[in-house]
């Protein structure tokens, strides 16, 4: 499908962008996965990823989410918050600086031809804020019982750490995925690795765009319209990967992030709208910011077909991949364990172990 309805009169590049955003993201994701950096960053024997939160949040996670027409998440969902409310804007700027440096150093012809305008747009604070408002994050850690995480994110150690099956979180497999789909990567802290992966991201995207997508556009690569679309798609892609590039001083967190970019989801939303809920929005500068709820699904196309004719790939909601829950070092273990086990049981989660943190009590 060409980006433009007519090679002489192009439409707004944003009108067709969702399809191409998804294709670009998938191509870059394959390049990153083939690179092997994720496997290299995984600690030996890692089975779970952990989300630190207060004890009452488990109720909200497990509570079914409804749309106007159907029960989209009968087994609960995970709330991904808008990146525009991140505590430190310097974190986002840090990631964009790393990617800007990669664009500066790239020898790719299309990147070179558009470099000045791309860097100008990346440095535009208004456009940066627009990009941040499109990106939603759900954060976890590769360590489930870490004092600094308890103190910062889990009610000063009175909360819980929820363990999730790492393979089901990180891989959008044929038979299991978190939806809406997005990136799921360990955060990179090493400065040289951030530079290397950033260059891989921008160059693999530019190669994909130049060799495959230009054929259907009706424009020579040097023409303005072609470059406009290239910059728009690259901007959306950069916004999705900036959150996995963090300052090395944060290394102890060993963070893992699921990133959903709203610009990728517009077509998907024609079938399944974002599950925003009244009372869950946050505000910044007087503007209400949505959150996105991730729910677990099986892909029906992998299930046995019944009757005649092809089966449509319709996602079937399933339980979140919760593997265990750790109670914080400053919590009353007995009462919290009873509360947690009651929540799990009432929502159909059976056999999930609940254990006590081994971190010393820290008032």
pLDDT in tens, 235-253: 888 888 999 999 999 999 9
The confidence score (pLDDT) of residue 229 equals: 73
Q: How far is the C-alpha of 220 from the C-alpha of 231, rounded, in Å?
A: 15
pLDDT at 332: 95
* Band of pLDDT at residue 50, cut at 50, 70 and 90: very high
Confidence band, pLDDT 50/70/90 cuts, at residue 37 = confident
3-state secondary structure of 283: strand
Residue 349 makes CB contacts below 8 A (sequence gap 6+) with 62, 319, 322
For every residue of 228-251, DSSP letters joined together read: HHHHHHHHHHHHHHGGGB--GGGG
* Sign (positive or negative) of CA dihedral 217, 220, 225, 228: positive
Distance of alpha carbon 179 from alpha carbon 199, whole angstroms = 28
How far, in Å, are 68, 79, 147 from residue 144 at the CA level? 36, 19, 10
For residue 1, tell me if it sits in a domain: no
Contacts of 75 (CB under 8 A, 6+ apart): 62, 64, 295, 296, 317, 318, 319, 320, 347, 348
Alpha-carbon span 93 to 83, nearest angstrom? 12
Higher per-residue pLDDT: 18 or 218? 18
Residue 5 lies in a domain: no
Q: Helices 125-133 and 109-122, interaxial angle, to 10°? A: 100
Longest dimension (CA), the chain: 71
Confidence band of 58 (pLDDT split at 50, 70, 90):
very high
User: 15: part of which helix (H) or strand (E)?
Assistant: helix 13-35
Instruction: Return d(Cα 333, Cα 352) in angstroms, integer.
Output: 16
Q: Is residue 183 part of a domain?
A: yes
Torsion sign, CA atoms 82, 87, 92, 93: positive
Looking at the domain assignment, is residue 361 inside a domain? no
Phi then psi for residue 49, to 5 deg, are -115, 145
Q: Does 8 reside within a domain? A: no
pLDDT averaged over every residue in the chain: 77
Q: State what percent of residues in the chain have pLDDT above 70.
A: 72
Residue 363 lies in a domain: no
Angle 313-66-159 (CA atoms, 0-180°, nearest 5)? 105
- pLDDT value, residue 8: 34
Domain that holds residue 83: 13-356
Q: What is the pLDDT of residues 176-233, one digit of tens each?
A: 677 766 778 899 999 999 999 999 999 998 888 877 654 444 444 445 666 777 787 7
SS3 259: strand
Residue 6 lies in a domain: no
Cα–Cα distance list, 173 to 54, 141, 168 (Å): 30, 21, 8
Residue at 109 is within a domain: yes
Helix axes 224-241, 125-133, angle to 10 degrees: 60
Counted domains in the chain: 1
CA-based R_g, the chain, Å: 22
């Amino acid at each position: 499908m060409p980006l433009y309805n007519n090679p002489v009169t192009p439409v707004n590049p944003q009108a067709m962008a969702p399809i191409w955003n998804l294709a670009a993201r998938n191509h870059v994701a394959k390049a990153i996965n083939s690179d092997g950096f994720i496997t290299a960053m995984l600690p030996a024997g890692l089975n779970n990823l952990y989300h630190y939160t207060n004890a009452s949040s488990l109720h909200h996670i497990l509570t079914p989410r409804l749309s106007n027409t159907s029960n989209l998440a009968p087994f609960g969902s995970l709330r991904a918050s808008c990146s525009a409310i991140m505590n430190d804007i310097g974190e986002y700027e840090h990631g964009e600086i790393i990617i800007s440096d990669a664009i500066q150093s790239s020898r790719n012809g299309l990147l070179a031809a558009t470099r000045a305008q791309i860097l100008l747009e990346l440095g535009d604070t208004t456009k940066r804020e627009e990009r941040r408002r499109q990106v939603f994050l759900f954060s976890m850690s590769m360590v489930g019982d870490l004092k600094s995480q308890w103190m910062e994110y889990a009610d000063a150690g009175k909360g819980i750490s929820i363990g999730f099956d790492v393979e089901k979180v990180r891989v959008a497999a044929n038979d299991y995925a978190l939806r809406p789909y997005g990136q799921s990567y360990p955060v990179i802290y090493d400065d040289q690795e951030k530079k290397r992966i950033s260059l891989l991201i921008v160059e693999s995207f530019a190669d994909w765009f130049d060799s495959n997508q230009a054929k259907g556009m009706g424009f020579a690569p040097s023409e303005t319209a072609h470059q406009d679309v290239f910059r728009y798609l690259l901007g959306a892609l950069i916004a999705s990967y900036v959150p996995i590039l963090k300052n090395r001083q944060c290394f102890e967190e060993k963070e893992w992030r699921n990133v959903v970019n709203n610009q990728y989801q517009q077509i998907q939303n024609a079938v399944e709208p974002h599950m925003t809920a009244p009372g869950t929005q946050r505000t910044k500068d007087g503007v209400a910011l949505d959150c996105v709820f991730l729910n677990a699904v099986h892909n029906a196309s992998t299930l046995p077909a019944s009757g005649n004719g092809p089966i449509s790939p319709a996602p079937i909601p399933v339980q979140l991949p919760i593997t265990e829950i750790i109670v914080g070092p400053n919590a009353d273990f007995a009462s919290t364990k009873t509360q947690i086990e009651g929540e799990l049981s009432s929502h159909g989660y059976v056999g999930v172990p609940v254990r006590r943190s081994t971190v010393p009590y820290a008032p």
